[in-house]
Amino acid sequence: MFVLIINKSKIKLPQILIPILFKYFVFTFYRKYNIKLNFDFRGTLSKYDIYFVDNNYDGNDWCPQFSIRTCNNNKSIYIHALKFPEELRTKGMGTFCINWLKLFSSLFHYDYIILGSYSPAFGFWLRQGFSRITDGDETYVHY
């Protein structure tokens, strides 16, 4: 597992703006990469699962997807998936998603972002500023 402790912004945005920021993410991702992600919001403004996915992607691999949910009594964000087909990797899409999530987490005063990862992606998460949690360290993980 990996964790990133969030530097909270001086201003905390009201939760009512959460769906607007999700729509803004979809819009800016499309403008930058010409990939239209649909999003599915499940839950409430304080406890939610959100899925960004391009179900129309016509490739030989899985479709582009980014999904997150709140955890730890809604004080943290868990990255459930950040997947791009092989032909779309190394174009900055993953970094774009994580930079947006860092800003989002800061503006809404989440404590940290956590995730699980396969070993081939460890370098990506370390470059994004995440720290690896050793086995048995449950400090950040309370679903």
* Per-residue model confidence as pLDDT tens digits over 58-86: 766 678 889 999 998 889 999 999 988 88
Q: Does position 135 have pLDDT exceeding 70, yes or no?
A: no
Q: For residues 18 and 105, what is the distance between their CA atoms, to the nearest angstrom?
A: 10
Two structure tokens written together for 13: 């945005």
Q: pLDDT value at position 54?
A: 85
* Fold classified for 2-132: Aminopeptidase (3.40.630)
* Residues 52 and 67: beta-carbon distance below 8 Å: yes
H or E element, residue 26: helix 18-33
pLDDT digits (tens, 9 = 90+) for 8-58: 999 999 999 999 999 999 999 999 999 899 989 888 888 888 988 887 777
Q: What is the pLDDT of residue 56?
A: 79
pLDDT at 126 over 60: yes
What average pLDDT does the segment 99-125 reach? 94
Q: Whole-prediction pTM value?
A: 0.89
Residue 143's pLDDT is what? 43
